[in-house]
Structure 1
Amino acid sequence: MITKDDIRVAAQRIAPYIRTTPVIQLEAGWFDVPGDTFLKLESLQVTGSFKPRGAFNRLLSEPIPPAGIIAASGGNHGIAVAYAAQKLGVRAEIYVPSLATALKRKMLTDLGAQVVVAGNTYVEALAASEARAAESGALNVHAFDNAATVAGQGTIAIELDAQLPDIDTVLVSVGGGGFIGGIAAWFSGRVKVVAVEPKNCPTLNRALQARVPVDVETGGIAADSLGCRRIGKVPFSVLLPAVSDSVLVSDEQIRDAQRVLWEKLRIGSEPGGATAFAALVSGAYVRSPGEKIAVVICGGNADPASFA
């Protein structure tokens, strides 16, 4: 179980390496039902996503072997691990599936990581990275199924608590569950935590229905960041009792949310980063009158030409 103390320790540990990201309030009139709406711009985090929080906490939690570190990622986790490795002066080898975007691959190489394309999906890249780690002795840094990683991701909730102390609800995009797991562990019933996933990547939604992690097919425009076949066991142990609602949105609704963020607010977001906002813009999440909502924009690593 991830505790608040675990998250507090993580926040102190990673503080020299990450940013406190801003919150902005949307103008009145955006939605039919009245209530305050805020965006937590984690897309402005170092490397362009929330992932460095967990990456740094994981790498600073135990000794790193001489062989360095290995990770598998659709992009953002690998970029965060490569960035952390660069800052800490260790070698990084990142395995990515073929669906990883050219932008994210370039970011990895620019950070000095050795990039290996392995398979068409995250699951295939993960299997290849695990085999290589067993062979080389490198530390395998899992994207979400690790307690230190989940605690690191939960540090965003400490910031939200300080920035919006009377928030009612937070909407969070879900891939493998590490990010929302950390947030849910911190708020633990005090704040309503709503999971938002693409219809093409319903990993947590299906697990909540089955009440155990299950395999699902993944695809669609957000698969590079949210396309995990099975929710992590570590975050799911937090999420099963803590998630208040699970919402699914279409690829079209995600793309519309990206356009709204760019055209109305000049916020660049990748599909996974805009997924939680899509639930609000599309009406897939039905807010209550007066409900004070925070939406986490969790990733900005996209070419604006793709949604402008």
Structure 2
Amino acid sequence: MSGPGIGAGFGGSVPGGVVGSGPDDAGPPRRVSRSDAREARKRLAGRIRKTPVLHTSIAGPDGPVPVTLKLEYLQHGGTFKVRGSLNALLESPVSAGEVVIASDGNAGIATAVATAQLGKACTVVVPESAPHTKVAAMWSHGAEVVWHGTTYGEACRHAADLATERGALLLRADDLPAVVAGAGVVGLELEEQVRGRPPVLISVGGGGLVAGVASVLGRRQQVIGVEPVGYPALHTALETDPAVGPCSPDAAHAHRIGAIALGIARRYDIRSLLVADDAVVAAREYLWREFRIVVEATGATALAAVHSGVYVPPPGERPVIVLCSANTEHVVQ
């Protein structure tokens, strides 16, 4: 039995019940704009948290650095991804009782939170390498977890087969217009919470958050992606253009930038900064020691750029740093 086709304004019906369209479907991905984020904010009203900001200073190599921390790790499920998952499901014109997604972490948690809100069943297909703490979080929000394969790509293929078999909706983790637009609501909130137009530093995984915020701020405000040297997805893509959709048959793992994110990064000249792994560890430990904030490594990556001196703000600048996720299995000492 085939799943319900989902057009959602993104190019018509998609075989297999895929929510929206992406680089795996015919034609280029649809552009995401500020107006899309505004529509997403309307849909999400009352369903997500407007996360607070903290104006403070952090230690840099040459002394204290004034910054504004966007505390997005306080979002439902401990991840910004809830915004995109909810927006994609609320935007879809087709009703189905079950949603299937492949994820090795926060996207699965976010989908479990979103489906619980909407009264839908959720199945997350995870590779054997998925962190057990994140799998436990999926379970805690009512998701069925199916272990399949040793790589993210194998999990993706099985999720597509499972959605078709069950007549469920197949949701993508990052490279989907509605998901990016949902993440863009973070940018709309920052415009209301922070004076002026300081640069915004954002950790890059699949690219959904950095792309969403950039689609809102455009060229009016600089958006900077920060990545660990071991997973330079955006940095590599900007140099060599290896955009692979997160559920493409060629996606061996989740650390590839999506086509939508890459297009937005080029359109608005998003910079990519690389930080050492030990700088990320040090930033995470610093957040706990100084602020009693516990985030996962991804959540501390953007902070690491300032804390380690990879990014040095000019005098008078107070950059915004987004702390994006808090689902960690490692206790900070």
With the length of structure 1 as denominator, give the TM-score of the two structures.
0.90
How many pairs does the alignment contain?
Answer: 296
Question: Which of 91, 99, 114 is matched with 2:129 structurally?
Answer: 99
Using the alignment, how far apart are the partners of 1:149 and 1:214 within structure 2?
16
Amino acid corresponding to residue 56 of structure 1 in structure 2? L
Q: Within the alignment, does 1:169 sit opposite 2:195 as a pair?
A: no
Counterpart code for 1:257: A
Structure 1 residue 273 corresponds to structure 2 residue 299: yes
Aligned partner of 2:99 in structure 1 is 69
CA displacement at 1:214 relative to structure 2: 6.1
Q: Please report how far the alpha carbon of residue 8 of structure 1 lies from its aligned counterpart in structure 2 after TM superposition.
A: 0.4
Q: Report the counterpart of residue 275 of structure 2 in structure 1.
A: 249
CA offset at residue 304 of structure 1?
Answer: 5.5
The answer for unaligned runs of 5 or more in structure 2 is 1-30, 246-252
2:82 pairs with 1:56 = no
Is it true that 1:264 corresponds to 2:318 in the alignment?
no
Taking the aligned partners of 1:237 and 1:189, their CA distance within structure 2 comes to 14
User: Tell me, what secondary structure is at the counterpart of 1:184?
Assistant: helix
**Which one of 92, 95, 113 corresponds to residue 143 of structure 2?**
113
* Matches of 2:266 and 2:35, distance apart in 1: 20
Structure 2 distance, partners of 1:99, 1:137, is 27
Question: % of aligned pairs identical?
Answer: 39
Instruction: Find the aligned partners of 2:94 and 2:288 in 1 and give their Cα distance.
Output: 40
Cα displacement (A) at 1:138: 1.3
Gaps of 5+ in 1: 216-226
Deviation (angstroms), 1:292: 2.0
CA distance in 2, matches of 1:91, 1:177: 27
For 1:118 and 1:304, how far apart are their aligned partners in 2? Answer: 24
Q: Matched residue of 1:248: which SS?
A: strand
Look up the SS of the partner of 1:191 in the other structure.
coil
- CA deviation after TM superposition for structure 1 residue 67, in Å: 5.0
Q: Which of 280-289 and 119-128 deviates more? A: 119-128
1:257 and 1:281 in contact (8 A); partners too: yes
TM-score normalised by length of structure 2: 0.84
Distance 2:197 2:151 in 1: 37
- State yes or no: 1:289 paired with 2:333: no
Letter in 1 for 2:143: A
Shift of 1:117: 1.5
- Name the structure 1 match of 2:214: 184
What does 1:193-204 align with in structure 2 at a 5 Å threshold? Answer: 193-204=223-234
Return the letter of the residue paired with 2:316: G
Deviation at 1:124, TM superposition (A): 2.5
What's the CA shift for 1:65?
4.4
Describe the SS at the equivalent of 1:60: helix
1:270/1:299 contact within 8 Å kept: yes
In structure 1, the residue corresponding to 2:316 is in which secondary structure?
A: coil
Matched residue SS, 1:301: coil
Contact 1:34 1:290 in 2 (8 A): no
SS of equivalent to 2:91: coil
Match of 1:230 among 251, 256, 264: 256
Deviation digits for residues 245-283 of structure 1 (CA, Å, limit 9, x no counterpart): 211112211111110000011010001111111111111
Contact 1:11 1:155 in 2 (8 A): yes
Once the two structures are superposed, what CA deviation does each residue of 1:17-62 show, in whole Å capped at 9, x if it has no partner?
1001010012376563776311101000010010110010000011
Q: For 1:158, give the aligned amino acid.
A: L
Q: Are 2:54 and 1:39 aligned? A: no
Match in the other structure for 1:4:
34
Cα deviation for residue 145 of structure 1 reads 0.8
Give the aligned CA root-mean-square deviation in angstroms: 1.9
Give the 3 Å change call, closer, same or farther, for CA 28–280 of structure 1 in structure 2. Answer: closer
* Per-residue CA distance 1:272-297 (angstroms, 9 max, x = gap): 11111111111122322222200000
Q: Following the alignment from structure 2 to structure 1, what is the Cα–Cα distance between the partners of residues 214 and 271? A: 12
